[in-house]
Structure 1
C-alpha cells in the first residue's frame, strides 16, 4: 500500500489538533471548575442541571418573599404590642376613676389622660409599613382604614387580608383585618353586662333612672344548659311598692322571653341572680323599667373604640346624684370587662402573628436544607473532580507531546533526503 507524503502530514496534523483540542477542553474545565462546560459534554447531566437550576431560582424567590412577609408581620407585631400596652394603661385609669373619693375634676383629669391613650390607639390602628401601606386596611391599604365620622370611629378598610406565597406549598396571611382586631372579640370571650334594655339588634332601648349597680356576671357552672345565652334582669314594683325583678332570656329570633324567674323580691342591700350558670350581684334602688342586660362579649357589639368613647362620656360628665353615680360605676364596670375582652383579642392576634413568624423560621430552615441538597446535586452533576482532571491533564499533555514528536519523526521520512 502506497501512502503519500500529503496523507502522512494530514494525519499527523489531525492527530495533533485532536490532542490539542482535548487538552484545551480539559484546560477549560479546570479553569471553570465545571465538568460539563457544554451540553454536549454530558447531555443527561446538562438536562438535569437545568431543572435543578430552575428549582434553585424558585427557592431564592420564595426566600425573598419570606423576607418581605417577615418584615410585614414584625411591624404588625410591634404595633399590636403598643396597642396591648395602651389597653393595659386604659384599664389602670378605669380602676383609678372608679375610686369613689374622686371629684368630678379628678375624673376630668383621668378622662384627659384616657383620651390621649384613645387617640394613640387610633393612630396605631392607622399605622403604615415602610412602603406607606396601611397595615390593617386589608387590600384597601392606600387610605386610612379607621376614620372618625362624627359619631365614633368607623372601619372603611377591607375585610380581606393580603396573602403571600412563602413556599411552594404554603400561602400565608401577612396581615390581619382591622375589623377583626379592633372591632371584635374572641368567640369565647367572657360575659359583659350593661345597664338598660337591649333590643334584638343589640341596641340599648332604655336608660336606667334608678341607682342599682351590678358586679359580674361571674361564671359558676359553664356546663349549665343555659350557659352561653343572653339574659336581662328587669325591675318592677309589686302592689306594696316593693322592688321585684324578673329574668328574661333572649330567644333565637332575638325576642326576650321569660327564663322562669318572675317577680322575685329584690333587696336593695344586695341580691344575687343566678341563671344559666352565671351569678350577677346587684345592689342599689332600681326604678320601674330599669334593666341589666348581660351576654357573651362577642354578642354585645364589643368594640375597642366604643369602649373608649363610653368610658370617656361618663368620666367627662358630672356624677352627683345616686343615679348618676350608679350610671358611672356601671359604665366603668362594663368598660373594664370590654377592655379585658379587647385585650384578649389583641393578644390572640399577636400570638397568631408570632406563630406565623415562627413558621417562617421553620420554613427558612427547611429551605436552607433544600438549598444545600440542590447545591450538592448540582455539584454532582456538573462540578469537576480536580484529582481526576489533573491526572487526565498530565496524560493529555504527554499524549500531545508524543504526537508532536511522532510528527517530527514522520516529517523526516522523505526520498528527497537521498537525492
Structure 2
C-alpha cells in the first residue's frame, strides 16, 4: 500500500488537533469549575441541571415575594402599635372625663386632647407604604381609605378585600388587613353592650352587662327596653312585652343577661342591649361621639346622666376596638412566624438543589488535574512523533 507524505502529515495534524482540543476542554473545565459546560458534555446531566435551575429560580421568586410581604406586614405592625397607644390614651382620657368633679371647662380640655388623638388616628388609618399605595385600602389602594364627609365625620372608602401574595407553591398570604377589619369591626368575643337613646330625658344610668346563662334560648339576641307608665310610677317592657314596674335601682334580666339600672327614667326613654357587633363598631364614630359629649355642657341632671352613659359606652367601645387591634396584631405576628418557617424550609430546599446541581455539573479537581496531565502527555507525544516523521524522505537514502 502506498502512503504518501501528505497522508502522513494529515494523520499527525489530525491527531495533534484532537489532543489539543482535549487539553483545551479539560482546561476550560478547570477554569470554570464545571464538569458539564455544554449539553454535549453530558446530555442527561445537563437536562437534569436545567430542571434544577428552574426549580431554584422559582424558589428564589418565592423568597423575593416573602420579602415583599414581610415589609408590608412590618409597616402595618408599626402603624398598629401607634394605634394601640392612641386607644390606650383615649381610654385614660375617658376615665378622667368620668370623674364627676370635673366641670364643663375641664371636660372640654379633655375633649381637645381627644380631638388631637382622633386626627392622629385618621392619619394612621390613611398611612401609605412609601410606594404610593395606602396600607389599609385593600384592592383600592390608590385612594385614601378614610375620607372626610361634609359634616366632619370620617367614612370608609376603601375595599374590604385585601391583596394576597403567593409566598410558596401552595400558600397564598394576605399582605395586610383592610381598614374595615381594623377600625370598623369588633372581635367575636366582644360580648354585649348597653346604649341609651341620646333623646332620653330622665336621669337613668346603666352599668355593664353581666352574663348569667349563655345557654339561654334568647342569648345572642338584641333587646330593646322601653320605659312608660308615669313619672310617679314608671314601668319598662322588653321587646314590646308586658310592662313591669320599675323601682330604682333595678336589675333587668333577659336572655341570660343582667343589667343594673339606677336613677329615674322619663316616659319614652329607651335602652338597647345588644351584641357588640350589632351596635356601633366604627371606632371613628366612637371618637366623634365622645368629642361631642365632652364639648356639650352638662347643665341638668338629665344632661349629666346622658354624659355618664355616653362615657360608659365609649369606654366599652374603646376596649372592644383595642381588643380587635390586638387580635389583628396577633395575626400579623402569626404571619411573620409562618414566613420564618417558610424561609427555613426554602433555605433547606435551596441547599438540596445546590448539592444536586453540584453532583451533576461540578468538577472533581483531582480527576481533572490527572486527566489534564494525561492529555498534555498525549499532546506532547503527538508533537514529538510528528517532529520525527515530518522529515522522513526517500531522498535522504539516495547517494
TM-score w.r.t. structure 2 length? Answer: 0.96
User: Which consecutive unaligned segments of at least 5 residues does structure 2 have?
Assistant: none
In structure 2, the partner of 1:160 is 161
Give the superposition deviation at 1:35: 0.6
> Residue 186 of structure 2 aligns to a residue in which SS?
coil
Could you say which residue in structure 2 is the equivalent of 1:24?
Answer: 24
Aligned to 2:178: 177
Matching residue of 1:323: 302
What corresponds to 1:265 in structure 2? 245
Matches of 2:181 and 2:81 in 1, distance apart? 16
Aligned residue-pair number? 397
Q: Indicate the SS of the match to 2:40.
A: helix
For 1:15 and 1:413, the matched residues in 2 are separated by 18
State the Cα deviation string for residues 12-59 of structure 1 (Å, max 9, x = none).
Answer: 221111111101110011011111111111111111211211222222
Structure 2 counterpart of 1:214: 206
Secondary structure of 1:41 counterpart: coil
Matched, 1:230 2:222: yes
Q: What SS does structure 2 have at the residue aligned with 1:40?
A: coil
Does 2:79 match 1:79? yes
Q: Distance in 2 between matches of 1:145 and 1:4?
A: 92
Whether 1:242 aligns to 2:242 is no
CA distances 1:325-359 after superposition (whole Å, capped 9, x unpaired): 11000011111111111111111111111211221
What are the superposed Cα offsets for residues 97-145 of structure 1, whole Å, 9 maximum, x if unpaired? 0011111111011111111111110110011111121111112222211
User: Structure 1, residues 287-310: CA drift from partner, whole Å, max 9, x if none?
Assistant: 112121111111113210000111
Which residue is 1:292 aligned to? 271
1:31 match: secondary structure: helix
In the alignment, structure 1 segments of 5+ residues that lack a partner are 197-205, 249-256
- Aligned counterpart, 1:251: none
Match of 2:286 in 1: 307
* In structure 2, C-alpha distance between the alignment counterparts of 1:356 and 1:156, rounded to whole Å: 26
- Structure 1 position 178, deviation (Å): 0.8
Q: d(CA) in 2 for partners of 1:316 and 1:416?
A: 127
- Per the alignment, residue 192 of structure 1 pairs with 193
SS of the residue 1:49 aligns to: helix
Distance 1:223 1:409 in 2: 109
155-164 or 327-336, which deviates more: 155-164
Residues 190 and 341 of structure 1 are in contact (CA less than 8 Å); yes or no, is this contact kept in structure 2? no
Distance 1:63 1:302 in 2: 38
Once the two structures are TM-superposed, the CA of residue 153 in structure 1 deviates from its matched residue by 0.8
Aligned equivalents of 1:308, 1:355: Cα separation in 2: 30
CA RMSD of aligned residues (A): 1.6
1:3 CA drift (Å): 2.7
Q: CA deviation at 1:265?
A: 2.4
* Residue 91 (structure 1) aligned with residue 91 (structure 2): yes
Deviation of residue 412 (structure 1)?
Answer: 4.6
SS at match of 2:312: helix
Q: Does 2:14 match 1:14?
A: yes
Q: Pick which of 344-353 and 116-125 moved more.
A: 344-353
- Aligned-partner Cα distance in 2 for 1:195–1:20: 98
Q: 2:375 aligns with which of 396, 403, 415?
A: 396
TM-score normalised to the size of structure 1?
A: 0.91
